[in-house]
Amino acid sequence: MLNDRLEWKWVRAFAEVFRLCRVAPGDPVAILAETQSRELSVQLAELALLELEARPFHLTVPTPPQRAPVPVRSTGASQALGGLQPVVGALAASTLVVDLTVEGLLHAPELPAILKGGARVLMISNEHPEALERLLPDPGLEGKVRAGVKLAREARQMRVGSRAGTELRVDLREAASVGVWGWCDRPGQVAHWPGGLVVNFPRAGSVSGVLVLDTGDINLTFKRYLQAPVRLTIERDYVTRIDGEGLDAELMRRYFAAWNDPDAYAVSHVGWGMNPAARYEALACYDQRDTNGTELRAFAGNFLYSTGANEFAGRHSAGHFDLPLRGCTVMLDDTVVVQDGVLQGELA
């Protein structure tokens, strides 16, 4: 357990990220939190914004009742706002929204209205500040992530394979491909800290094949490294079979089934990590309450497969898995962007 006390080095880290977001003196900046948000991060955000002579203000809403049949973790689809229009209006009128909700606004239904108002949104992942300090954004990463997004947007198909047995095909035509490098500096932009990945939200019916989670791959919903392989059969976006012996396969079967929602089995997004500072082994170093695992989504060369909400395919579900895999080869048409878990070419 790390101590939850204010450290000046963390204030400076937050201020550095806000500078990258081009926060200027006098800018109205909303600090959005809920009653279960990490209070230390809320305080650090306020102090850092005051250091930059911005005009921060707090919007804190009650964490909504837990109505899901199982614990909800790492969805990026916060329900904290609940459509509360006065709050949405205040966020939309801000220069920057510092998103400190537990789950984050990435898939929240209110996000489009906030962005349409001209605000930009920085999701600060629910990590202990020690991890955020270690993963300060690297300005040099932006160009590489942008290059990865360009390759994805120009490709018709993504193919993913691995020695463990993954053979996946993704139709990228009309997919929404985006990149995150850790900060946002333009109106209508969304980013998260820590960042460093390219993700693609395929249109409906675009993903088929086999995804094999090997020993040592990661289930971030459960915040655990797999102890035994799990084989997922995917047909037109949906996981139709979960094969494997042992605890990891059983946990996945039970969690999927608990939602009683077919869309919980569907693909949310696919992509790859690009942050050389993010560490695969970091999950072993933190208590579960001290990490949200965003670092593991971004470590360089991982293939990230996620299930659940995909607004671009017209699907919404609170059930969500983020599954970073090692050792995969990712091809965009005939271009290899990741070879056996190693970034290639201009992305390296």
Write the pLDDT tens digit of every residue in 157-175.
Answer: 999 999 999 999 999 999 9
Contact 153, 176 (CB under 8 A): no
Is 25 a domain residue?
A: yes
Q: What is the pLDDT of residue 1?
A: 60
- Which residues partner with 14 through β-bridges? none
Same structural domain, 202 and 120: no
Domains: count for the chain: 2
Is 108 a domain residue?
A: yes
Same structural domain, 18 and 127: yes
Is 272 a domain residue?
A: yes
Helix, strand, coil percent values for the chain (each to nearest 5): 30, 30, 40
**pLDDT less than 50: residues of the chain:** none
Same structural domain, 105 and 233: no
CA–CA separation, 332 and 147 (whole Å): 13
Is 78 a domain residue?
A: yes
Coil/strand/helix, residue 130: helix
Same structural domain, 130 and 145: no
CB atoms within 10 A of CB 66: 10
Same structural domain, 80 and 166: no
CA–CA separation, 181 and 247 (whole Å): 35
Domain CATH number, residue 54? 3.40.50.2300
Is 2 a domain residue?
A: no
CB atoms within 10 A of CB 136: 18
Is 67 a domain residue?
A: yes
Q: What is the pLDDT of residue 318?
A: 87
Q: Domain limits at 266?
A: 141-181+188-347
What the block records as the tokens of 73 is: 């973790």
Q: Which one, of 261, 260, 251, 175, lies nearest residue 213 by Cα?
A: 251
Same structural domain, 170 and 120: no
Same structural domain, 130 and 77: yes
Half-sphere exposure of 25 (CA within 13 A, CB side): 1
Residues 6+ apart with CB under 8 A from 64: 79, 80, 82
Same structural domain, 154 and 303: yes
Same structural domain, 93 and 163: no
Same structural domain, 146 and 69: no
Same structural domain, 217 and 176: yes
Distances (CA, A) of 340 to 217, 224, 344: 14, 22, 10
What is residue 63's DSSP assignment? P
CA–CA separation, 282 and 14 (whole Å): 21
Is 3 a domain residue?
A: no
| φ/ψ (deg, to 5) at 44 | -65, -40
Residues 6+ apart with CB under 8 A from 256: 239, 242, 264, 265, 319
Residues 6+ apart with CB under 8 A from 67: none
Is 160 a domain residue?
A: yes
pTM recorded for the entire structure = 0.95
CA–CA separation, 331 and 339 (whole Å): 8
Q: What is the pLDDT of residue 75?
A: 85
Same structural domain, 198 and 121: no
Peptide bond into 194 cis (omega under 30): yes
